[in-house]
Structure 1
Amino acid sequence: MNLNQVTIPSLDLEKATEFYKTLGLQLIVDALPRYVRFECPDGDSTLSIHLVETLPKDNGVSIYFEDDNLDALVTQLKSKGLVFISAPEDKRWLWREAHLLDPDGNTIILYHAGKNRKNPPWRIPK
């Protein structure tokens, strides 16, 4: 089994579309104003966004995108006007992460974990 796509809600699909294009995703389905789908620049995963009247309450959505050159990516995205709520930093779970919010308040975590993404030292043996 492989994760194909994740779909998230948005109150303003046009604004969300521009945000994710700036982030580097490739728009592959444009059914504005109700639905869009993006392809990630690496791998086969896609991200869909659909128009809603209200956003989920409480924790919302967190989306992780991995990049081997995290610090350079963050610098590039800042130069395009994206605002980060945390700069790249090494986490105790052996990932390096930077956080920002999309226009609907969904948390976007850009990170680099390398081998620790699926094989941290505390992984349960098969």
Structure 2
Amino acid sequence: MIKEVAFVAIAVSDAERARKFYQETLELKPARSQMGGAWVEYDFGDTTIGVGCHPAWQPSRDGTTVAFEVDNMDATIERLKSRDVTFDIPKTETPVCWMAQFRDPDGNKLVVHKRKK
């Protein structure tokens, strides 16, 4: 049956604006691009995140959340804030991790996350 997550898709309304945000603000490196740049994939080990713009896909402020694991939580938050990223949920500690939530230009929820060791 299901053996792994093949990829996570994030719907966006403006491919160029999304490309700038994901590649310049978040510093993600594109792995592949299709549909004339309207679909861009970013690889993280065995995980792929696809960011795409298509009339059938609609971004949502209430949709799925993607969490990015980081090495240094405080430095990452400060770096994103210096790039005008606003956090909906500030750095929060749970029993197993620290996390902080922000949004991309379409309102999709994103999280920076640091597991406790």
CA contact (8 A) 2:12 2:59 kept: no
- Counterpart among 62, 65, 84 of residue 65 in structure 2: 62
**SS at the partner of 2:63?**
coil
Distance 1:55 1:81, change over 3 A: same
Task: Quote the Cα distance in structure 1 between the aligned partners of 2:110 and 2:78.
Answer: 16
Note the 1:1-126 alignment, pairs <5 A.
Answer: 1-21=3-23, 22-31=25-34, 32-40=36-44, 43-53=45-55, 55=58, 59-91=62-94, 93-115=95-117
* Structure 1 residue runs without a partner (length 5+): 116-126
Supply the AA of the counterpart residue of 2:79. Answer: Q
TM-score (norm 2): 0.79
Structure ID, larger Rg: 1
CA RMSD of aligned residues (A): 2.2
TM-score (norm 1): 0.74
Supply the AA of the counterpart residue of 1:80. Answer: R
Distance 1:68 1:33, change over 3 A: closer
Using the TM superposition, give the Cα deviation of residue 68 of structure 1 relative to its aligned residue in structure 2, in angstroms: 2.7
State the identity %.
29
Using the TM superposition, give the Cα deviation of residue 87 of structure 1 relative to its aligned residue in structure 2, in angstroms: 2.1
Number of residue pairs matched by the alignment: 112
CA displacement, residues 5-27 of structure 1 (integer Å, 9 cap, x when unaligned): 21221111111111111212111
CA displacement, residues 94-116 of structure 1 (integer Å, 9 cap, x when unaligned): 3211110111211101111235x
